[in-house]
Structure 1
Amino acid sequence: MKNRKLHAWLWRWHFIAGMVSLPFVLVLAITGGLYLFHPKVVETKTEPWRELGLTDEAQRLTYQEQWNRAKGVLKKPLSQFQIPEKSSESTQFTAGRFSHKTTVYIHPVTGAVLATFSPKDSWMYTVRKLHGELLGGKVGTKLVELVACWMVVLILSGLYIWWPFERGAQGVFTIRWRQGKRIFFRDIHAVIGFWMSGLLLLTLAGGLPWTDVFGAGFKKVQKWTDTGYPKGWNGRGLTSIVQDKPLTLDAMVAIAKAQGLPGTVSVGLPKGTKSSFSVSNKTFPLSEQKMLHFDQYSGALIQEYAWSDVGVLMRGRMWVMAFHQGQFGAWNWWLMQGVAIFLTLMSVGAIVSYLKRKPTKKLGVPKQPKKFKVGVGFVVLLLVLGCLLPLFGASIVLLFIVDVLRKRKTKAGETTLVRSL
């Protein structure tokens, strides 16, 4: 049998944390499901400039000439060229990274600048901002991180609270739909939560590396343990031997194609006279990704990195982040869409179940068990979680301080009352 006082104590805090977090969880679930459509939305948005329907016989400008046409279109220098996968496509040059990235589309026959596109030019950018920071900037980002941390605790505590020690194995598989709406929605929340718990934890693991506090700490651990990208992965510290003329982009593309890399292949453009060309590919599985650096004058290979050269923490981080975004194929996309849908159902189930059980004109917060002290093992678990999830740890310390002050105030009030009597 369970420790019933621990059960009651956990249930109280699970309830309070759930009620505070629930609105944010719903926003994260809905926006997360929507953002999975981001690649398709961008593909549809850029199709008029990207897919031109050109034939193989069309007379094209050289890649070098197209690069020259693209230079100066943006205020920031171009950093990357994507090798076209189909002869019917336009040519793409990119400046910047991540949400600050801007792509220039060049017509390969006329050399005309067809358009420029940034992630900010799509309504999906607003969805992303809602999902990542609730449109609240740095404060919103930390609030999302805090909710994600408490979701980990909600999942772990929910598993203990719900574990069907009364219903047995039947409670794992069945939802009671004939015993009233409260029981029905309570079981929707609990049964779905049980089966989704592991997947939800993995999904949260894929989102936490983007956060400010946990993400920054994780990067520091990678640096201390030398388990991130190799130092020269991005070409820093690698130099070309300066000669009269650098290679043309066409010559570099020929070298890149000769590497036989799978997926979408891009050429990193030199930033200065001594920097190098880089060739990388985006593909799944991640183990097939490579990064190669070439002398921009001779075309000689300066440095080659395979996925096995990347540190174990970075490999794990990139895997869970790609999984979080549904990038491993249709199965992964549908799995993440299922997480978003079922998380929404779980949240709605919790709300309806609460409203059905809530006493009139009262919040219905579960009572604190009397004369209960948390065991050492549980304190150790909280300390471990607090260290792994710093914002959760900070919130626990704050709650502890508030609780101590509340008890002192209550005790002082009782003492005053006794004296007055």
Structure 2
Amino acid sequence: MKRNLKLHQWLMKWHFISGIIILPFVLMLSVTGFIYLFKNTYESPQISDFRYVDVKNERLTFQEQWEIAGRNSDAKPHSIIISGKTDEATEFISGKFANVSHLFVNPYNGAITGKFFENDSPMGQIRKMHGSLFLGVWGGRIIEFVGSWLFVMLLTGIYIWWPVRKWSVFGFFIPRIKQGRRTFFRDIHAITGFWISILLLMILAGGLPWTEVFGNNFKRLQKVTNTGYPATWDGQGLKSLPTENSLSLDEMILIAKEHPLPGTVSLAFPKGKEGIYSLSNTYYKDLNAQKIIHFDQYSGKLLLQHSWSDVGVLMRGRMWFMAFHQGQLGTWNFLIIACTAFLLFIMSLSAIISYLLRKRKGKLEIPIVPSNFFPGKIIFLVIAILGLILPLFGLNILLIVLVSRLSMSKSLLKTI
């Protein structure tokens, strides 16, 4: 197969430009992502100090513990973690997403054994750096911009690297060590980038749903195509039938235990007189085993339950890739993500070193492309599709085209 040399040069130019723009950010993302993988390892000792208690003869009721938690929590607890272990403090959850906090109550004496605020922990700070550069919404947009260009850089890199004539051990599997430092680091960049490209695309697919623009558009697509959570997944539209007295938390937990679920099991409290109890579990090792079950707060009657098979295909795919992104699907997943993050760092650093070894002082060394080159309708169609899927990338392309047009107009005016 004969390579289109001009197209190769054109793609190389944009691969180079995207690298200059985003590689410093990619280095940061690889380091912070690698560190955040060890979140549970780092936080487990601290949480263990809060969680484990000495076993006594008599326990306080869950209702009493709930009241204690309400008096000692900054925000009203919305759920309780159900555990069958006698040597564990009772865990109450407040807040959502990044603002989740955990409060632990000793079930034997009512003492608060500890509070854990995810957002304020060291790993919470790493997550902020990884997801928003500590800059809030605008930082999140910068990360989305980087992710969009990384997607493009991977696709162009695969085309540029792909051998036209034949495969060779050196240069395609093993870096060449006898052709100078620049070639050595260039090979490390290219070989590493190619062999982890599929994994990186999967990781990007798991990270983009967290972003503002792409993430919100993806949610709209789920809603339009009815491929997200069922409307009643969170109990929307369900109501308890009020009677004189509601069940105590202890009575409700006994009912909940009649529906054993794997993983971390939580019971969400009713909101108001017509609110419902909702039992659910988080189990990344087998997402298909996840369920949510809704109960009347007065009678304990099962009102509705959903299994993972009731969730739409886009949401199931989204949640799988997001869990994969965080290495939560098991040891195999953790090791793959850790290795990929490490190799991404090596790939990015070697690209910078190779560029600095090639760069002449005062020059950017951007690959030259003939001014009259037209990449073809298929390439523009691909760019248009990527621009629709990744809106920040599309907006950036429009800005680049506008600047290029203005530059060409100025050049023409000078010649008149």
TM category, shorter: over 0.9
Match of 1:223 in 2: 223
Q: Map of 1:229-378 to 2, 5 A cutoff?
A: 229-283=229-283, 284-378=285-379
Q: CA deviation at 1:282?
A: 1.0
Q: Which amino acid aligns with 2:260?
A: G
2:126 aligned with 1:127: yes
Measured against aligned partners, the alpha-carbon deviations of 1:284-323 in whole angstroms (never above 9, x if no partner) come to 2100000000011111100000000011111010000000
Q: Which amino acid aligns with 2:142?
A: L
Measured against aligned partners, the alpha-carbon deviations of 1:72-97 in whole angstroms (never above 9, x if no partner) come to 32343211000125221100111111
Match of 1:72 in 2: 71
SS of the counterpart of 2:373?
coil
Q: Map of 1:139-178 to 2, 5 A cutoff?
A: 139-165=138-164, 168-170=167-169, 171-178=171-178
Match of 2:214 in 1: 214
CA contact (8 A) 1:99 1:118 kept: no
Measured against aligned partners, the alpha-carbon deviations of 1:326-370 in whole angstroms (never above 9, x if no partner) come to 001111111111111000000011011111111233221111224
Separation of aligned partners in 2, 1:139 and 1:201: 24
SS of the counterpart of 1:116?
strand
Q: Which amino acid aligns with 2:350?
A: G
Report the CA distance shift for 1:58/1:166 in structure 2 as closer, same or farther (over 3 A).
farther
Separation of aligned partners in 2, 1:37 and 1:59: 37
Identity of aligned pairs, percent?
46
Between 23-32 and 116-125, report the one with greater CA deviation: 116-125
For structure 1, the residue ranges without an aligned partner over 5 or more in a row are: 416-421
For structure 2, the residue ranges without an aligned partner over 5 or more in a row are: none
SS of the counterpart of 2:196?
helix
CA contact (8 A) 1:91 1:105 kept: yes
Separation of aligned partners in 1, 2:4 and 2:373: 11
Q: TM-score, normalised by structure 2?
A: 0.97
CA contact (8 A) 1:84 1:90 kept: no
Separation of aligned partners in 1, 2:263 and 2:413: 69
Report the CA distance shift for 1:169/1:85 in structure 2 as closer, same or farther (over 3 A).
farther
Separation of aligned partners in 2, 1:412 and 1:308: 64
SS of the counterpart of 2:12?
helix
Separation of aligned partners in 2, 1:332 and 1:86: 28
Q: Which amino acid aligns with 1:110?
A: N
Q: CA deviation at 1:12?
A: 0.9
Q: TM-score, normalised by structure 1?
A: 0.96
How well do the aligned residues superpose, as a CA RMSD in angstroms? 1.3
Match of 1:6 in 2: 7
Q: Which amino acid aligns with 2:259?
A: Q
Separation of aligned partners in 2, 1:141 and 1:322: 19
Measured against aligned partners, the alpha-carbon deviations of 1:40-84 in whole angstroms (never above 9, x if no partner) come to 2222222211122x34x6321111111111113234321100012
Separation of aligned partners in 1, 2:173 and 2:372: 35
Separation of aligned partners in 1, 2:46 and 2:399: 47
SS of the counterpart of 1:285?
helix
Separation of aligned partners in 1, 2:10 and 2:25: 24
CA contact (8 A) 1:107 1:114 kept: yes
Separation of aligned partners in 1, 2:232 and 2:40: 30
Q: CA deviation at 1:205?
A: 0.3
CA contact (8 A) 1:85 1:264 kept: no
Separation of aligned partners in 1, 2:8 and 2:351: 18
Match of 1:410 in 2: 411
Q: Which amino acid aligns with 2:342?
A: I
Q: CA deviation at 1:411?
A: 1.4
Report the CA distance shift for 1:58/1:164 in structure 2 as closer, same or farther (over 3 A).
farther
| TM superposition outliers: structure 1 runs of 4+ over 4 Å | none
CA contact (8 A) 1:292 1:301 kept: yes
2:136 aligned with 1:137: yes
Measured against aligned partners, the alpha-carbon deviations of 1:189-217 in whole angstroms (never above 9, x if no partner) come to 00011110100000000000000000000
Separation of aligned partners in 2, 1:166 and 1:28: 35
Q: CA deviation at 1:394?
A: 0.5
Q: CA deviation at 1:167?
A: 5.7
Measured against aligned partners, the alpha-carbon deviations of 1:225-269 in whole angstroms (never above 9, x if no partner) come to 111111111112110111111111111111111112111111111
Match of 2:85 in 1: 86
Separation of aligned partners in 1, 2:365 and 2:232: 58
2:19 aligned with 1:18: yes
Between 327-336 and 76-85, report the one with greater CA deviation: 76-85
CA contact (8 A) 1:133 1:144 kept: yes
Q: CA deviation at 1:166?
A: 5.4
Separation of aligned partners in 1, 2:131 and 2:415: 46
Q: Which amino acid aligns with 2:404?
A: D
